[in-house]
Chains A and B, each alone.
Chain A
Amino acid sequence: MRPSPRTAHALGLYACHTCGLLSRPAREGASSCGRCGSSLRFRKTNSIERAAAYLIAAYILYIPANVLPIMETHSVFGREENTIVSGVAYLWHAGSWGLALIVFIASVVVPVLKLLAMTLLLITAHYQSAWRPLERAKLYRLVELVGRWSMLDVYVVAILAALVQFRPLATVTPRSGALYFGAVVILSMLSAMAFDPRLIWDPAHKESHTHA
């Protein structure tokens, strides 16, 4: 079964992943793009394996990121530890519903949905599923677009820690949860970058060609 002849791969053409130049490989094996010098390959190398490795690491670190406190507040009223979720609850009770919603979406909804979305994309790509490629492609685009915004809470902790330094009245210290959270965001960004969206389409193109 040959892939559909409408794609660059099917015509034996390399589309450079960096600059987009189409070129015909001069020889089998490794070659590099004549315009930008990137190494040429039809699909990202070991895309699913690398993306899955980053994703599994992100899942593991997601646990300490939510269980451990992200910061600690010392004040005359005592010591208080904050986790991601308690920070959202605080904003909500303070009446800042808009911000509470933004932080809730950025730090709770987006990371969870991103991990689940990448899991779905990797599993369907691994089994070469031709199921709803357009919807999966849109899901991937969404993951790429909003994934970075989860860094929001990490920055909030850093700013608070730098500003609130009134010993002995009030001090804020970052705790390890924030670092784990930052690591989850970076690992899931790396996972999305390692994933090759062309793998979503390859089975669909193959199928349409067989039916044609």
Chain B
Amino acid sequence: MPVLSPTDSQSTTGLIACNECDLLQRPIALPAGGWAVCGGCDAPLYRYTPGSLDRALAFSLGAAVLFLIGLTFPILELEIQGNVTSSSLSRTVQQLWKDGLHVFAVLIAATTILLPALELAVMISVLLLLRVRRASAWMPKLLRLLTLVRPWGMTEIFFMGVLVALVKLAHMADIVTGIALWSLGGMMLLLIAASRSFNLRHLWEQVAPQ
């Protein structure tokens, strides 16, 4: 990454500033799948995302379908001496609420249901808007919302939590893994694939400044 020398300071068009150290740099062309890193602090600046936006749309729609299955169907079923309990994502939240643990229920619902659903919905809306190729006043709002929501969706951590719970329970009961466990696992992979093709920086560049 060519770092701007002090003498170049007149022309600033086409430059980008590193989001971590504020250093101004001139973007370079990248090979497929490549990352550009900051010349000053090694922070990732931007990347070349292979595949079209249609690919990102396909991955996000797939993730949305798996999310709906993961939400409603049992993740794990447990049997002790003929008694069976099963738990889905929504039932987990309901059970916590019923036990009077309201703050806890809201925390789980927000990070594993509401915010991942919002992230998926925003990603799909952005991609659909781009497909109809209409300059929309909504685009900057949607992209801002996405930046805000992204750190708080924790599906992949919840999935690891299910695996840990599975091991903890294995000695005391018969466990049947439900379809939602595989759905959530699949959703996790599709979300990673979708965000690999979904280039936020590139999408911002297509929004015309006013």
Contacts and interface: CB of A to CB of B under 8 A. Distances in A.
Contact of B96 (A91, A166, A174, A197): A174
Contact of B144 (A18, A34, A96): A18
Nearest to A200: B21
Contacts of A94: 167-168, 171
Contacts, number: 198
Contact of A137 (B42, B81, B83): B42
A137 B21 contact: yes
A154 interface: yes
A158 B154 contact: no
Contacts of A37: 140-141, 144
Nearest to A87: B168
A159 B162 contact: yes
Nearest to B78: A163
A7 B158 contact: no
Most chain B beta-carbon neighbours within 10 Å: one of A4, A138, A151, A178: A151
Most chain B beta-carbon neighbours within 10 Å: one of A4, A9, A151, A163: A163
A151 B21 contact: no
Nearest to A158: B108
B158 A174 contact: no
The interface residues of chain B, by DSSP majority, are classed as: mixed
Interface in A68-103: 90-91, 94, 96, 99, 102-103
Interface stretch (B28-36, B48-56, B57-65, B84-92): B84-92
Interface string A6-37: 11110101010111111100000000001111
B27 to A, nearest CB: 11
Given A18-B144, A164-B169, A201 B22 contact: yes
Given A148-B154, A159-B92, A166-B80, A20 B204 contact: yes
Contacts of A17: 19
Given A22-B12, A151-B157, A158 B92 contact: yes
B20 interface: yes
B5 A90 contact: no
Given A137-B41, A156-B161, A19 B143 contact: yes
Interface string B3-26: 111100100100111011111100
Interface residues of A, number: 66
A149 interface: yes
Interface in A86-131: 90-91, 94, 96, 99, 102-103
A65 B3 CA distance: 46
A198 B40 CA distance: 11
B195 to A, nearest CB: 14
B201 A20 contact: yes
A9 B22 contact: yes
Interface in A140-179: 140-141, 148-149, 151-156, 158-166, 169-170, 173-174, 178-179
A35 B206 CA distance: 10
A11 B209 CA distance: 20
Interface string B104-143: 1001100110000000000000000000000000001101
A193 interface: yes
A156 B165 contact: yes
Contacts of B165: 156, 159-160, 163
Given A91-B167, A155-B157, A159-B165, A6 B83 contact: no
Nearest to A175: B101
Interface of A: 4-9, 11, 13, 15, 17-23, 34-38, 90-91, 94, 96, 99, 102-103, 133-134, 137-138, 140-141, 148-149, 151-156, 158-166, 169-170, 173-174, 178-179, 182, 189, 193, 197-198, 200-202, 205
15 contacts: A4-B6, A8-B17, A19-B140, A35-B207, A36-B204, A133-B21, A140-B20, A141-B43, A152-B160, A155-B160, A159-B76, A162-B96, A169-B83, A174-B101, A201-B41
